[in-house]
Structure 1
Amino acid sequence: MILRNFLSINLLCWAQFSFAQAPPEPGRERYSMDAHWRFALGHPFDTNQDFTNGTSYFSYFAKAGYGDGAASSTFDDRAWRQLDLPHDWAVELPFDSTAQHSHGYKATGRNFPATSVGWYRKTFTIPATDLGRQLALEFDGVYRNSKVWVNGHYLGTEPSGYNSFRYDITDYLNYGGRNVVAVRADATMPEGWFYEGAGIYRHVWLTKTNPVHVAPNGTWVTARVAATTADVTARVNLLNDGKKTQTCAVTQTILDAQGRVVASKKQEAVSLSPFQPREIALQLLVADAILWNLEAPYLYTLRTTVVVSNQEVDRYDTPFGIRTIRFDAKEGFFLNGKPVKLKGTNNHQDHAGVGTALPDELQYFRIKALKAMGSNAYRCSHHPPTPELLAACDQLGMLVIDENRLMGTNYQMQEDLRDMILRDRNHPSIISWSIGNEEWGIENSVIGARIATTMQAYVHSLDSTRLCTAGISGGFRSGISDVVEVMGYNYLGNGDVDAHHRRFPEQPGMGTEEGSTFATRGEYATDARKHYAAAYDQKPRPSFYSIEEGWRFYAERPYLAGMFIWTGFDYRGEATPYLWPSVTSYFGMMDLCGFPKDNVYYLRSWWSQQPTLHLLPHWNWPGREGQPIAVWAYSNCDEVELFLNKKSLGKQAVPRNSHVAWNVNYAPGTLEAYGYKNGRQTLHEVVKTTDQAAVIQLTPHKAALKADGQDLAVVTVAVADRGNLTVPTANEQITFSVTGPAKIIGVGNGDPTSLEKEKFVEDIQKVAIQGLQETPVSGLAEGVAARRQNQSAAWQPAFVKRDYKNLAAAYRHQGSFELPADFVNAQVTFFYNSIGKEQYLYINGQELATDLKQSAEGNVIRLAPSLLKPGHNTIEIVATPLTKEHDWDVVNTNPGTIQVLTPAAPWKRKTFNGLAQVLIQTTKEPGTVTLTATAKGLKTATLKLKAEKAAARPAVL
């Protein structure tokens, strides 16, 4: 079954190398592709609304290089919206009561075809000097069912929204010229049962290498630790994408955190056949090894250097950590030989204001918030995470369960599992691979046992250093529960954990999900009408346990490695126990913004050594004078004494892993608590009745920002009284503006029933020219005169029956377009594409352009409001025709698109129970960033932040 002394070892890494390094690595360059994309919504089945993709005679599945419509390199996307990645278009959409409850009622899915498909396009240049190198596009994640083209060449489809994937584009590029990548994402069909966003919500990269190079995710570092020495095995998978055999030398060098060499070894004369990977393994000894741990997560770097003909052709850096891990069936989990109780949380990738498109700094913000609560473990629920999350866990000291998305053993599912493990197995933070979660259809069957057994064997063919787990909730009786290496108990109420352990005494176990309590931050009376759940820790249902009950159960059993609470943060969707208009969950220890609910302080009391004393609820209860109110204290003190307006209400001993409580008849004033340790007063907590809201307070999570275009300030917005006490019942509308080198990217407040916007972006309507007709004329002059005199003509559909061997000298064209009634508040631009060698343009009979020469790039013409009218507008074009040299040549027949751009509304958000949040992201310019917050009847607040000069990521702009 399970070996108690199963040897689990070390590890770690981040992507492939850090962007903190200023110069590009020799032979290898990696560039961000996040900037300057164009975006537009498409359609899952209406090809006209999907930019005619897949409608040409030779579509992309028929012939190479025939990507059509928006996939074509010649497609005109100038009228599309401009944006940077990561991007989640779902979070920008309105809420709709008919949308999916599980996905937070955002208007995506089968009932919303017009907002469920998105197109992205980016134009970039590749230097001529790159010819002869290998170039690849790397996507950290696209939600979902993405198709990718480069220069009209179809590259492939990735069904999952969570897998990282790459395409070699070496042979498809225009070296020294213009290139276009197009991505179509289809979020019509969900993949999970929680909010998942939509679009390119993770980073995109361009990697350039020599034909002889380290394979993608091609290193694996393991270590055996004895006393103070680590015996490191450094494996590297090499590729030769050239056309002939090459001989290279490989050097593996271990650098400490200061960049000093601590070990190095070289292998000469490595023969590499074309397109045949070869693995090289070298042993290196690290004396006085510093072990990675939770308090001091020390990272080394493995530098792999490849040399051909005395020239370095590749350098590949792999951050890693040296540590040992072990799950024990009787004593729990061990890190570096010491017992560690897992104090974990489950989390989705979702945050207020940005949805699933989290900037990197937000990953660090969230992990720091969990660590401050005392948490030491993170379960990726229920899919592989973004690489930056794992980097944050590595660097901050957070243990991780890395989870597979879909349980199964067919080829595609094994490939997905393989890609996850190869990408992530160097991270020291990862302690277990989760092969599934709550697979009710197979959990208690022999089929489930077979699948789990096969998956575990497959995992160990790729990583022999970690055990597998799975979250089981359909009873702990048979099937997967019998064979999984580390039993994952999802909720105590679903079975008898102790009985299962007695049945399988050699099987380690942990609580992969526990709690699922309902709590609304700052609310202390359950109100079913308002969809508010009191923030006291209560059993969510008769068969489920409270956070306190769950932790006491796991804390009291040494054989259980620990537990993972459902969840660390609220997330969109699964708004149990309510339906519309609740749009986020109630499970989090923190809300969607990361503001702590009261359970955070319970956990901090017993999960950390930080002295803690916290009182709940707030003390603003007008109209309840004299009525009893439950007052709780969370503390790790020995005793707590409570006072109301200086009168003692009694001292109570604090039971271990529990709390103390009083019933207090409400009177406005001051509620105070004193905490005692070993008989001495050590802590003091005060909760006061506040005055009315008077001022706005702005507090950033850090004072200085990096002007790198990536860094972020998470700003807490609080409404306070004149004494600067946060008013816990204040729900005020705040308007925000920012000046200087930064932009607002999202707002939130943690209210699970709020239907306010989190994004304020410009609205773009793309108006097509319809019903284009033509008639031949003897020349431009005649056509212009005929148009001026409004002469009648024998009109016929434009371009349909043209004889390109017998063209007229010129053609008159007429068509129309429809403008919305409110276009006067918008900016209207005509992105014109030449349909002639020379042309004259008129709108509603008024001259727009004269003697306009053919332009391959097209023309951008701003349309004055005086030219236009709501509803029906006419357009006329007189042009000398484009010609064909060959019958199969394609000439442009689309005169372009009219863009109606309505500027974004001012950023605003109500506070919820006194708090809101603003996310501010820097540009690449240093300077002073000023955030201003205003509200009716409140004193305006101004926050100034310094954006300091910093190196930006190497990027393809």
Structure 2
Amino acid sequence: MTKISIFHPTKIAFLISFLFVGFQANAQKKISLDEDWRFHFGNAADVSKDFDYGKTALLHKSNVFATTIVNPKFVDTTWKKINVPHDWVVELPFVKSDQVEMDSHGYKPVGGAYPETSIGWYRKHFSVDKKDDGKRFELQFDGIYRNAEIWFNGFYVGTNFSGYVGNSYDVSDYVNFEGDNVIVIRVDATQYEGWFYEGAGIYRHVWLNVTDKVFIPSDGVFVHSKIKGKNATVTIETEVENKNLRPSNAVVYSIITDRNGKQLGKTSEQKVALSVNEKTTIKQNVNLSNVMLWSLENPYLYKVISVVKQNNQIVHQTKTRFGIKTVTFDAKKGFFLNGKHLKIQGTNNHQDHAGIGSAIPDFMQYYRVKLLKEMGSNSYRASHNAPTPELLEACDSLGMLVVDEQRLLNSSPEYIDQFKRLIKRDRNHASVFLWSIGNEEQNIQGNEYGKRIAQTLLAIQSALDPTRTSTYAADMANEFKGVNEVIPIRGFNYREFAVADYHRDHPNQPLLGTEMGSTVTTRGIYEKDEIRAYVPDQDITHPWWASKAETWWKLAAENDYWLGGFVWTGFDYRGEPTPYKWPNISSHFGILDVCGFPKNIYYYYKSWWTNEDILHISPHWNWSEKIGQPVEVWVNTNADEVELFLNGKSLGKKTMPRNSHLKWQVNYEPGTLEAIAFKNGKRLTAKVETTTHPVKVNAVADKSTVLADGKDGTVVNISIVDDKGREVPNANNMIYFKLTGDAKIIGVGNGDPSSHEADKCTDGAWQRSAFNGKCQVIIQAGKTVGDLKLEVKSNGLRSAAVEINQKK
């Protein structure tokens, strides 16, 4: 058995200021630069429309001014005002096109074929406190899609090739203390990195880090632990760097606190001598007794405060949240968390959401993870790229395991650098339990190239994070070659039929379903529709390379050598429409749609992934055109037996097979379809009823109180109901939204994979049609304390209003 003991930190997103004796005011700052950017399209094919980029020399001299776009005095007042995170693609219209990859990217006009909407220029003006002269200044970009060239006050500072792994740049030499400081970024999205919707722009946070010149670098703390009984030895590895122009002495130590800030332990104060530009790592230990283990049920997080002192004054300190846990992968018995057997019940997910594309506010990460947990999922695979840091923070806090994945199986200097940055950024997160070195590299995964690349990446992972191991998502059957020869955890993308044979032939290699299922369903649709490109909302349709939910989950659930698996996917996502193309602009793979509304397959997984009492009937019971005709009725439940009734008449009792579902053929007549089930002697009931016509709009906010910080927000889900308050399952009325108060609507959606309505209503007239009874609006908070009011209206229906309290 391989036992991996894990322990974790998260980055802090705001100004760090800890009240310790001797701590200097303004010793360090972490300043958000998200607000007040200017944006303008460039052009990949016409330099005259790209601010002469490619014609004007920008790199022949430092601090290029004249009339170039990187000149701090360049006039950008007519440019569009935006805040980041920003995804410019979500605002573009849908375009029917046969261009390569257009279907995969959701029919948005971005990529090499659309030069006029594939280059974006950003400019940001800000001032710096003169009192900070002599400090170190660092620009931190959490994610820009993609190939971002960055200038600061006219000086070129670097290019970040990756659209998913962020980077930081020391700009201390270029800071202007007497006036504006100007960041200029050219973002080039003409090349894709994936075959799915990726968006474009500065779609994650931007920070200005101000520190002393003796400091802890970004991602310079690594926390891990060894558990013995109820106690743990916590090891804290702290990098310290000297950017002074002279040798410097410092003292380094760390404090561990509980989640409430109570001090539990402290290392000794270790002296360190640093030459100019030297970086060194200090390794220190703290013993903790009666530790609380991080688990799915109780995701307990400790804190490490790492401190650097000079002349008895604190000059830099960082705070890192971490969890203590053990992880075991056993080839015969399965997966264990803290010594307890756990079947991995995971979902794969891309990083976009209805209405907002890839520029997802932090509160939405918590909303999405919460929906997955409610379904019974315990693990999230970030497919197929480095996740947003705030997603990991949500998983740390809510109790969701994560497979953290490298974008490509490649060992060139560029991709090695990306892999190192990924591991150092994320290795302290309690939620991350497994790395993935890549996904479905068909050309190399089964040959010597793949094997050698995998060995190189695995060596890097082991050096930077010896507390974890790695998998690789291979779309290969019973084949032990290439990557599979060296990967510690064999990942299967589909090919579930070959897992048993592979285990027989390689009994000592743990097995994980990295992509499983891929049933395609359209919420609320029950007949195949090739015109509108819909598929039935039941576990019946899948691509040739995939399987139904019941096919893979029965195998995983009933065989201990399966660690478990990840469904493709938790949420629908933009792009990669299957089995259709246009008019589809998003996938059908999700257990939930792009808004997070459950499909019927949700209740299959929830039946077998939770201990809750589940009894669900589908389809709806509004079939006026089918009176007297047979309708196939599905019941998803984890009860022992179910009896079905139509208008009080029994249609028979059936025993519920584990990890399956029940079906009846029912001749339709309006009224009430009811199921009565028994689970361990407990009686459960569920029903669907024929509704009348729509009469009212209902609106429910995910939370009724938000912080007045300009970043928090809430999701409001809309349903259309009849005179008895029953949701009308085929209602598609147009819904209109009006928000009053200091807040804004940032997106709308309805889960329709063929809808070409706007996600962003740029004229301020927000609206969205319902799709099969539902739609959604996303609100982001302002900065003024007070009440917000969302009015929701539809012609001919009674309106609704949602009140939200905005507070400090």
Please report the TM-score for the alignment, with normalisation by the length of structure 2: 0.97
The 5 Å alignment of 1:559-574 reads: 559-574=561-576
Query: Match of 2:639?
Result: 637
> Distance between the aligned counterparts of 2:165 and 2:719, measured in 1?
38
Query: Match of 1:732?
Result: 733
> Distance between the aligned counterparts of 1:635 and 1:456, measured in 2?
42
Task: Give, in angstroms, the shift of residue 637 of structure 1.
Answer: 1.1
Q: What amino acid is aligned across from residue 8 of structure 1 in structure 2? A: I
Q: Does residue 1:35 correspond to 2:38, yes or no?
A: no
**CA offset digits 1:809-866 (Å, max 9, x no partner):** xxxxxxxxxxxxxxxxxxxxxxxxxxxxxxxxxxxxxxxxxxxxxxxxxxxxxxxxxx
> Distance between the aligned counterparts of 1:482 and 1:521, measured in 2?
41
Task: Give, in angstroms, the shift of residue 257 of structure 1.
Answer: 0.7
1:10 to 6, 11, 16: 6
**CA offset digits 1:232-275 (Å, max 9, x no partner):** 11110001111111111111110101100111012332111121
> Distance between the aligned counterparts of 2:681 and 2:388, measured in 1?
48
Task: Give, in angstroms, the shift of residue 705 of structure 1.
Answer: 1.3
Query: Match of 1:552?
Result: 554
Q: Does residue 1:407 correspond to 2:406, yes or no?
A: no
> Distance between the aligned counterparts of 2:316 and 2:178, measured in 1?
23
> Distance between the aligned counterparts of 1:944 and 1:505, measured in 2?
58
Q: What amino acid is aligned across from residue 484 of structure 1 in structure 2? A: I
Partner SS for 1:215: coil
Contact 2:751–2:771, Cα closer than 8 Å, also in 1: yes
1:379 to 359, 362, 381: 381
Task: Give, in angstroms, the shift of residue 641 of structure 1.
Answer: 1.4
Aligned in 2, Cα 1:600/1:19: closer, same or farther, shift over 3 Å? farther
Count residues with an aligned counterpart. 799
The 5 Å alignment of 1:35-434 reads: 35-56=35-56, 59-66=57-64, 69-98=68-97, 100-434=102-436
Query: Match of 2:695?
Result: 694
Q: Does residue 1:920 correspond to 2:759, yes or no?
A: no
> Distance between the aligned counterparts of 1:675 and 1:200, measured in 2?
51
> Distance between the aligned counterparts of 2:92 and 2:14, measured in 1?
35
The 5 Å alignment of 1:507-906 reads: 507-541=509-543, 544-681=546-683, 683-761=684-762, 904-906=763-765
Q: What amino acid is aligned across from residue 491 of structure 2 in structure 1? A: G
> Distance between the aligned counterparts of 2:291 and 2:58, measured in 1?
54
> Distance between the aligned counterparts of 1:20 and 1:92, measured in 2?
35
**CA offset digits 1:355-389 (Å, max 9, x no partner):** 00000000000000000000000000000001000
The 5 Å alignment of 1:439-518 reads: 439-477=441-479, 478-492=481-495, 496-518=498-520
**CA offset digits 1:418-457 (Å, max 9, x no partner):** 0000000001111111001000001111211111112111
Task: Give, in angstroms, the shift of residue 27 of structure 1.
Answer: 2.0
Contact 1:16–1:217, Cα closer than 8 Å, also in 2: no
Contact 1:256–1:301, Cα closer than 8 Å, also in 2: yes
Task: Give, in angstroms, the shift of residue 49 of structure 1.
Answer: 0.8
Contact 1:229–1:289, Cα closer than 8 Å, also in 2: yes
Query: Match of 1:933?
Result: 792
Q: Percent identity?
A: 44
**CA offset digits 1:679-734 (Å, max 9, x no partner):** 331x2112111111111111111121111111111000111111111110001111
Superposition RMSD on alpha carbons, in Å?
1.4
Task: Give, in angstroms, the shift of residue 668 of structure 1.
Answer: 0.6
Aligned in 2, Cα 1:445/1:25: closer, same or farther, shift over 3 Å? farther
Contact 1:249–1:266, Cα closer than 8 Å, also in 2: no
Partner SS for 1:216: coil
Q: What amino acid is aligned across from residue 47 of structure 1 in structure 2? A: V
Task: Give, in angstroms, the shift of residue 176 of structure 1.
Answer: 3.5
Contact 2:477–2:495, Cα closer than 8 Å, also in 1: no
Contact 2:743–2:781, Cα closer than 8 Å, also in 1: yes
Q: What amino acid is aligned across from residue 43 of structure 1 in structure 2? A: N
Q: What amino acid is aligned across from residue 495 of structure 2 in structure 1? A: L
> Distance between the aligned counterparts of 2:402 and 2:518, measured in 1?
20
Q: What amino acid is aligned across from residue 30 of structure 1 in structure 2? A: K
Query: Match of 1:823?
Result: none
> Distance between the aligned counterparts of 2:704 and 2:51, measured in 1?
46
Query: Match of 1:813?
Result: none
Q: What amino acid is aligned across from residue 31 of structure 1 in structure 2? A: I
Partner SS for 2:452: helix
Contact 1:17–1:316, Cα closer than 8 Å, also in 2: no
Q: What amino acid is aligned across from residue 644 of structure 1 in structure 2? A: L
Contact 2:16–2:29, Cα closer than 8 Å, also in 1: no
Which piece of structure 1 moves more, 352-361 or 39-48? 39-48
Which piece of structure 1 moves more, 575-584 or 473-482? 473-482
> Distance between the aligned counterparts of 1:397 and 1:243, measured in 2?
45
Aligned in 2, Cα 1:664/1:22: closer, same or farther, shift over 3 Å? farther
> Distance between the aligned counterparts of 1:926 and 1:419, measured in 2?
39
Runs of 4+ in structure 1 displaced over 4 angstroms?
16-26
Larger gyration radius, structure 1 or structure 2: 1
Task: Give, in angstroms, the shift of residue 544 of structure 1.
Answer: 2.8
> Distance between the aligned counterparts of 1:539 and 1:909, measured in 2?
29
> Distance between the aligned counterparts of 1:443 and 1:122, measured in 2?
43
> Distance between the aligned counterparts of 1:522 and 1:74, measured in 2?
55
Aligned in 2, Cα 1:597/1:362: closer, same or farther, shift over 3 Å? same
**CA offset digits 1:578-617 (Å, max 9, x no partner):** 0111000000000000001111111111001111111110
> Distance between the aligned counterparts of 1:380 and 1:141, measured in 2?
15
Contact 1:640–1:675, Cα closer than 8 Å, also in 2: yes
> Distance between the aligned counterparts of 2:698 and 2:395, measured in 1?
31
Contact 2:215–2:240, Cα closer than 8 Å, also in 1: yes
Q: What amino acid is aligned across from residue 485 of structure 1 in structure 2? A: P
Task: Give, in angstroms, the shift of residue 54 of structure 1.
Answer: 4.3
Task: Give, in angstroms, the shift of residue 324 of structure 1.
Answer: 0.9
Partner SS for 1:623: helix
**CA offset digits 1:307-366 (Å, max 9, x no partner):** 101111011111100111111111111111111110000000000000000000000000
Q: What amino acid is aligned across from residue 412 of structure 1 in structure 2? A: E
**CA offset digits 1:654-696 (Å, max 9, x no partner):** 1111111111111111111112123331x21121111111111
**CA offset digits 1:286-323 (Å, max 9, x no partner):** 11110000000000001011110111101111110011
Partner SS for 1:177: coil
Q: What amino acid is aligned across from residue 492 of structure 1 in structure 2? A: R
Aligned in 2, Cα 1:715/1:751: closer, same or farther, shift over 3 Å? same
User: Tell me, which stretches of 5 or more residues in structure 2 are unaligned?
Assistant: none
Partner SS for 1:122: strand
> Distance between the aligned counterparts of 2:344 and 2:261, measured in 1?
32
> Distance between the aligned counterparts of 1:658 and 1:18, measured in 2?
48
Aligned in 2, Cα 1:410/1:709: closer, same or farther, shift over 3 Å? same
